[in-house]
Structure 1
Amino acid sequence: MVLAEKKIEVELIEERFWEERSEFRRLNPAGKVPVLKVDDFILSESNAICEYLEEKHPNPPLLPRTPEERAEVRRLVSWFDDKFYRDVTVNLLGERMMKRITGVGYPESTNVKEGSRQIKMHLDYMSWLLDRRRWLGGNMLSLADFSAAAQLSCLDYISDVDWDRSPLVKDWYATIKSRPAFRSLLSDQLSGFPQPPHYANLDF
């Protein structure tokens, strides 16, 4: 989304990180995606990649100007990439989809129930933020919005987001969803997991 928002052309390469290819491990010993390769420069970890792109291509900006505003955006990026991911995405997407894709077992109902419980708290927190700001991180679209939208897009693909819980969050996501940078995600198709009818619908 950051690359598309900044209109940076890139070749996307699918990497099944769970297969632990030795060639990929040489790019990133942690065995995680994403990895950015620019000529001989190789960078891993999504936060580092996004901030690198922001510094190399500052327009349009995805970080605000003041140190205080930037700190708040970084706090929320960490919230969604770490806390939301552990509380919700791992328990829902990880159990319902990734276990099947990677062949490591069957969903644990306890984890799914916990993810379903936790997402309510996170949606309520997002609603609280959006009741006080135009965007999640403040008055401008930022990396915080993209971090949150990335998690929710994955969960929406498996119909695990109750959009009726918060009209503010639903309207925010509809705005993000309608951006050209988001369009490529709406065409995603995973083998064995067909898109739900609402996924690519801008008026979901």
Structure 2
Amino acid sequence: MPQLYHHPLCPHSRFIRLALGEYGVEAELIEERVHERRRAFLLLDPAGQTPVLVEDGGLVVPGAGAIAEWLDETLGERLGDHRLLPTSPAARVEVRRLTSWFNEKFFDEVSNWLVTEKVFKRFTATEIGGGAPDMDAVRAARANLRYHLRYVSYLAQTRNWLAGERMTYADLAAAAHLSSVDFLGDAPWDEEEPAKQWYQRLKSRPSFRPLLADRAPGVMVNPLYTEVDF
């Protein structure tokens, strides 16, 4: 069985967990606290970031982008018309553009700040950046979230799924990052109904159910987080 080194609230880990679920791949989940800088984990990936996938044969695939490409190259054909990375070159460009938007831009402007300040800093030693959350950073991330949600609403209103007619990696990446924000109760869903309806569609998929069971010690989960119709 493949092993996935992850953290329950790491948005990039959640993206890959969703992808594995859509591909029907069961993996052993190994929770990794990257701030501990474990030598065994750093030997797998010197970057020391989650997620890292270790295949049955021992191949190490580090990083959400590389794992997503690996899954498409090795398993994509089995999904046929439901492939998460389309076969059309033009369609692949759009999926990769939006996947990058959420895995990089949204992460840098929203999810990284909220998860780091409200979760990770609780378990990090003070001398390496742990401690109380920086509320200025939290407020900035919440402000940034609103324009990202407007963009999701725009895409959801003009397309069947974010990147086109079919669900793709773009939807999984967006849902993964928003689910981390949703866990913490920071998503103003009532302000963007199209984005909310799109997210509910993702939230109702079987691949999403394991994410709804995630918890973090000492962190209060949003009471509506587990509700599909919220």
Deviations 1:31-60 (CA, angstroms, capped at 9, x unpaired): 001111112211101011011111111132
1:47 alignment partner in structure 2: 65
Deviations 1:94-124 (CA, angstroms, capped at 9, x unpaired): 2122211324122112211111110011001
Displacement of 1:10 in angstroms is 1.1
Q: For the residues of structure 2 that align with 1:137 and 1:164, how far apart are their CA atoms?
A: 23
1:197 alignment partner in structure 2: 223
2:52 alignment partner in structure 1: 35
1:9 alignment partner in structure 2: 26
Q: Which runs of 5+ in 2 are unaligned?
A: 1-17
Q: For the residues of structure 2 that align with 1:184 and 1:154, how far apart are their CA atoms?
A: 13
- SS of the residue aligned with 1:131? helix
1:132 alignment partner in structure 2: 158
Q: How does 1:139-150 map to 2 (within 5 A)?
A: 139-150=165-176
| Aligned-pair Cα RMSD in Å | 1.0
State which of 155, 179, 204 in structure 2 corresponds to 1:178. 204
User: What TM-score, normalized to structure 2?
Assistant: 0.86
Displacement of 1:29 in angstroms is 0.3
Q: How does 1:97-136 map to 2 (within 5 A)?
A: 97-103=119-125, 104-136=130-162
Displacement of 1:5 in angstroms is 0.8
Q: For the residues of structure 2 that align with 1:91 and 1:22, how far apart are their CA atoms?
A: 26
Deviations 1:146-170 (CA, angstroms, capped at 9, x unpaired): 1011101101111000001111110
2:5 alignment partner in structure 1: none
Q: For the residues of structure 2 that align with 1:178 and 1:114, how far apart are their CA atoms?
A: 30
1:91 alignment partner in structure 2: 113
What is the count of residue pairs matched by the alignment?
204
Greater length-normalized contact order (CA 8 Å, ≥ 6 residues apart): 2
2:75 alignment partner in structure 1: 57
Q: How does 1:71-82 map to 2 (within 5 A)?
A: 71-82=93-104
Consecutive aligned runs of 4 or more in structure 1 exceeding 2 Å deviation = none
Of residues 185-194 and 72-81 in structure 1, the stretch that sits farther from structure 2 once superposed is: 185-194
**1:20 lines up with 2:44 in the alignment:** no
Q: For the residues of structure 2 that align with 1:43 and 1:80, how far apart are their CA atoms?
A: 20
**1:67 lines up with 2:89 in the alignment:** yes
User: What TM-score, normalized to structure 1?
Assistant: 0.97
Q: For the residues of structure 1 that align with 2:176 and 2:60, how far apart are their CA atoms?
A: 23
Q: For the residues of structure 1 that align with 2:66 and 2:112, how far apart are their CA atoms?
A: 22
Q: For the residues of structure 2 that align with 1:22 and 1:162, how far apart are their CA atoms?
A: 40
Q: For the residues of structure 2 that align with 1:121 and 1:194, how far apart are their CA atoms?
A: 26
